[in-house]
Amino acid sequence: EDPVGNGQEEKEKNPFAEYMWMENEEDFNRQVEEELQEQEFLDRCFQEMLEEEERDWFIPARDLPQGMAQLQQQLHGLGLADGHGSEDILSKSNLNPDAKEFVPGVKY
């Protein structure tokens, strides 16, 4: 008898107990292979989706005629005032700072 109960008695009943996992090794391998194939399929689908989106996106340099692309580059080159000239613009302004906010379609 095994008073400690460390499993020696069970091993004596079945000397191949530690190798029983090999009984289902083929099923396990098949399952893992299916999972890997499914993951590969999902990766391919995702990559195709990204490529399809990229084709459908509007890319000005690619999709606009050459003259339009140059015009767009010029527009991007224009910037807003850097803040130094804004005081000058405000001093010359004749807008009423206390006026109500303009809302299109609303009559005052």
Average pLDDT, the chain: 77
Task: Tell me the pTM.
Answer: 0.36
CA distance 55 to 70: 22
Higher pLDDT, 73 or 101: 101
Q: Provide the 3-class DSSP secondary structure of residue 64.
A: coil
Whether residue 77 has pLDDT greater than 70: yes
Look-up of token digits 């009559």: 107
* pLDDT tens sequence across 1-18: 445 555 555 556 888 888
* pLDDT tens sequence across 51-72: 888 777 777 666 666 777 677 7
- Cβ 100 vs Cβ 108: under 8 Å: yes
